[in-house]
Amino acid sequence: MGIRLAQNGSAFPEPSDLEPSDIASVMKLLAVLLACVLACPLSAHAQQEPIVIRFSHVVASDTPKGKAAIRFKQLAEQATQGRVRVHVYPNSELYRDREELEALQLGAVEMIAPSLSKFGPLGVREFEVFDLPFLFPDEAALHRITSGPIGMGMLQRLRIKGVVGLAFWDNGFKSFSANRPLDMPSDLSGLRMRIQPSRVLDAQMRALGAQPMTMRFGEVYAALEAGVVDGTENPPSNFYTQDMQDVQSHFTVTNHGYLGYAVIVNRKFWEGLPSDIREALEEAMAEATRYAASIAREENERALAAIRASGKTQIHVLTDAERGAWEKALAPVGVEMEGLIGAQLVADIRRAIEAR
């Protein structure tokens, strides 16, 4: 249909001027225009950029935390049907130990999973309760705290620091390593031992006669190789994935302390998400947390076997009498640190552990 001037001189004819074929053409044109209008919002939504979560951590991808981070990525992207993309950066690719918390608070990264020792320097000293030696007799006792009201309350207190705590992830129980046998507490005397930034861990090493040295995780291997530090405390998975069997000749299975993580996100980013996205991510995190707990023990058992099979590091498992000596030597640390951590929190945790 071409444009014709109507009898009234207008380019828009009166209905009486239209022929039947013209009316049919107009109706078709209107149908096309209506379809375009209805399709526009859908097209804009379909072309909307996905929400990106940069998940930074400092350990290898084949550790319990590394595997749990990949699992969360898969679950989150699936649960949000691609509306969220999670980019995982392992092994300090983005930020190192001391940098990642500040980067999170500044919004330079959306999600991290620092070890619980890192929260003390942030001003949340109660998290250092997890560093107390021999506090948790086994994983079941530990999970009664991290999955119960005490643990959830601790995560809530992180909000005042501009972050939101989502979950606790396990790595495992720590053991000591050095280049000499460590059968008894006195064997650590005089050794320079790498620790995370924690006043509890500092007191622990001093109680054993060792010299604590705070150091980033990514720097430990080189420091051991160069003789800057003499030993470490790590779960077997961290020890093995960092090839420390090449630079440590003795590993004593003490299981004296817990190494875990809190998965946290930038508060402003989290609270700015659509509610349905937040709910989907919370469900994905809950499932990833169950996965992390299920693989931590398996990964550490596998790593311990690999360390032994390497033939480079001698593994010693404490006898009951030796374990008793270690517990006695480190008992004063708990008493000394209660004032720093909070005597009430320590008492509440002990009661929850005993209430099997």
Residue 43: per-residue pLDDT = 40
Q: Beta 192-195 vs 211-214: how paired, if at all?
A: parallel
| Domains recognised in the chain with CATH numbers | 51-354 (3.40.190.170)
Over its length of 356 residues, how does the chain's per-residue pLDDT go in tens digits?
A: 444 444 444 444 454 554 555 555 545 544 544 544 444 443 444 458 999 999 999 988 988 899 999 999 999 999 999 999 999 999 999 998 778 999 999 999 999 999 998 898 788 999 999 999 999 999 999 999 999 999 999 999 999 999 999 999 999 999 999 999 999 999 999 999 999 999 999 999 999 999 999 999 989 999 999 999 999 999 999 999 999 999 999 999 999 999 999 999 999 999 999 999 999 999 999 999 999 999 999 999 999 999 999 999 999 999 999 999 999 999 999 999 999 999 999 999 999 998 86
Residue 221: per-residue pLDDT = 97
Residue 42: per-residue pLDDT = 39
Nearest CA to 272 out of 40, 53, 47, 22 is that of: 53
Q: Which residues pair with 231 in a beta bridge?
A: 193
Tokens of 194: 């790498």
Interior angle at CA 199, CA 196 and CA 201, nearest 5? 55
CB 285 within 8 A of CB 145: no
String of DSSP letters for 24-51: HHHHHHHHHHHHHHHHHHHHHHHTPPPE
Residue 2: per-residue pLDDT = 46
d(Cα 263, Cα 326) in Å, to the nearest integer?
31
Residue 318: per-residue pLDDT = 97
Tokens of 222: 């080189």
Amino acid at 78: Q
d(Cα 216, Cα 259) in Å, to the nearest integer?
15
